[in-house]
Amino acid sequence: MSDQTKEHTPTITVADQRVASQKGEREFMMDVRTQDLEVNMGPQHPATHGVMRILIRADGELVTGAQPHLGYLHRCAEKIGENVEWLQYLPYTDRYDYLAAMNNNLGYSLAVEALLGIEIPRRATMLRTICAELNRIASHLVAFGTYGLDLGAFTPFLYCFREREWLLMLFEKICGARLTYSYLRIGGVFNDAPPGWLEEVAYFCDVFEEKWAEYRDLLMLNHIFIKRTADIGVITPAQALDFGLTGPMVRGSGIDWDLRRDMPYMIYGEICDANVFDVPLGTGEQGQLGDCWDRVYVRVQEMMESIKIVRWCLENIEDGPTIAELPKVLRVPPGEAYVGIENPRGELGHYVVSDGGKVAVRCRVRGPSFCNLPILEDIMPHTFLADSVAIIGSTDVVIGETDR
């Protein structure tokens, strides 16, 4: 520290001060010595939601630069994909976005099915949709709850996890796992729903709808919460497009884009025709368009839209087989396919290449968290250090997916 003090040369000289003091400004600067300080936020910081390090350069309270450093959780998922058989890779997809494992299973299955060109039974598609949407709610509950936690609101987090616990129990009933499901398989789903499961999901929807309004009032409309998030971390629509942001990040900036509606896959085309759900957008209701509040509120509203989709599926589900007939050792026809689906965090893309063998040639995962993160380098400078937690939390990053 003493070396730094010696080397420090004041940026304002006595002569400057004399000029400035005549104009009546900056007199106080003479004895204030500031220099840029580099602070590592993470890899073990609770607000980074995992092991990510952000190198923050700060001038006093002001952030002048931010650089995310990744790779602490790199597990070579893509390399593993080139070394195990098509069906064996499925459990690995659970592990990248561990908060939305159903959606990951779905993305991978759809990509392989695009190459196989097989017909999926209708009941399986319905169960897939129900599970993916329920998992979206569970994921958004974590995002919303922990975001409050980051900003010092402890109570909503506990309520969110109570509701999520119920969802995890429902998943446990249908597939036996609470976090890494591997329930949606290539060709359909692993097994049919146990008796009474669909009725319990309907009951959950009813209860959740009631609770949801309470959470919204408790956190989203809380005056302190609004003060901490409105006008902070503004992403303009042009930035959102340039950085390739997807999901709630791009919708928070007011861009009307949802893959489920705009490029329908699975049964979503039918759901959109029935006009079941809306796509919530950021409106700049509490501050500027595209601020942290907008992004979080988009997620909160999406939970309710998911409930509507689940209800529609429960009304229209029919009996039937739940998985297509497939050989034990799957050989996928040569070719390549890219399938992007709407994950809770944005577009989850799988790019698979096959040469006709038992193992993939390439198994690329385009994780939405990975693609949504570089925006931090752009929006964090010129904010206050205290707001950096609010900005990082609003990207809803899952490190398992950025690092894969």
Partner 1 sequence: MDFQGIYDRLRAVDAPGLTGCDLPRDADPEDKKDKGRAGDAFVLVDPAQWTQFLRVCRDDERLGFEQLVDLTATDPGKDDENFWVNAQLLSLRHKHRLAVKALLPKGAATIASATAVYRAAQWHERECGEMFGITFAGHPDPRNILLPDDWAGYPLRKDYEFPKEYHGISCE
Contact residues for partner 1, defined by CB under 8 A: 70-71, 74, 76, 78-79, 82, 114-117, 241-244, 246, 255, 257, 262-263, 332-338, 340, 347, 349, 351, 353-356, 361-362, 364, 366, 370-371, 373-374, 403-404
Under 8 Å between Cβ of 198 and 314? yes
- Of 50 and 148, the one with the shorter C-beta distance to partner 1 is 50
Nearer to partner 1, 77 or 309 (CB): 77
Q: Strand 53-59: give its sheet, edge to edge.
A: 37-41, 53-59, 62-69
Output the smallest distance, CB 238 to partner 1, in A: 9
Please say whether the beta carbons of 58 and 388 come within 8 A.
Answer: no
Find the shortest distance in angstroms from Cβ 72 to partner 1: 9
Positive or negative: CA dihedral 80, 86, 92, 96 = positive
CA distance 39 to 58: 7
Return the number of the residue (109 or 146) whose C-beta is nearest partner 1.
109
Which of residues 52 and 130 has its CB atom nearest to partner 1 in the complex?
Answer: 52
Phi, then psi, of 179 in degrees rounded to 5: -130, -45
Nearer to partner 1 among residue 205 and residue 353 (C-beta): 353
Q: Which of 69, 36, 35, 40 is nearest to 56 (CA)?
A: 40
Backbone Cα Rg of the chain: 24
Residue 323, SS3 per DSSP = strand
- Please work out, in degrees rounded to the nearest 5, the angle formed at the alpha carbon of residue 4 by the alpha carbons of 2 and 7: 110
Q: Which is nearer to partner 1, 131 or 332 (CB)?
A: 332
Q: Residue 355 Cβ, how far from partner 1 at the closest point, in Å?
A: 7
Distance CA 91, CA 295 (A): 30
Q: Decide if 251 contacts 273 (C-beta within 8 A).
A: no
Shortest approach of partner 1 to residue 51 CB, angstroms?
Answer: 12
The Cα 210–Cα 203 span in angstroms is: 11
Give the nearest distance from C-beta 396 to partner 1 in angstroms: 17
**Least Å from the CB of residue 203 to partner 1:** 37
Q: Say if CB 367 and CB 96 are below 8 A apart.
A: yes
| CB closer to partner 1 out of 33 and 362 | 362
Burial zone of 110 (CB within 10 Å; 0-12 exposed, 13-18 middle, 19+ buried): buried
**Closer CB to partner 1, residue 36 or residue 242?**
242
Cβ nearer to partner 1, comparing 189 with 332: 332
Give the shortest CB-371-to-partner 1 separation in angstroms. Answer: 7
In the bound state with partner 1, the residue whose beta carbon lies nearer, of 338 and 384, is 338
- Shortest gap between Cβ of 362 and partner 1 (angstroms)? 4
Closest approach of Cβ 32 to partner 1, in Å? 33
Least spacing, CB of residue 309 vs partner 1, in Å: 20
> Cβ(398)–Cβ(50) under 8 Å?
yes
Tokens of 10: 């004041």
* Burial bucket for residue 45 (CB in 10 Å: 0-12, 13-18, 19+): middle
Instruction: Give the residue from 197, 202, 208 showing the smallest Cα distance to 169.
Output: 197
Closest CA to 310 of 136, 172, 166, 181: 136
Which is nearer to partner 1, 306 or 402 (by Cβ)? 402
Output the smallest distance, CB 335 to partner 1, in A: 3
C-alpha 393/C-alpha 213 separation (Å) is: 22
Rounded CA gap, 267 and 269, in Å? 5
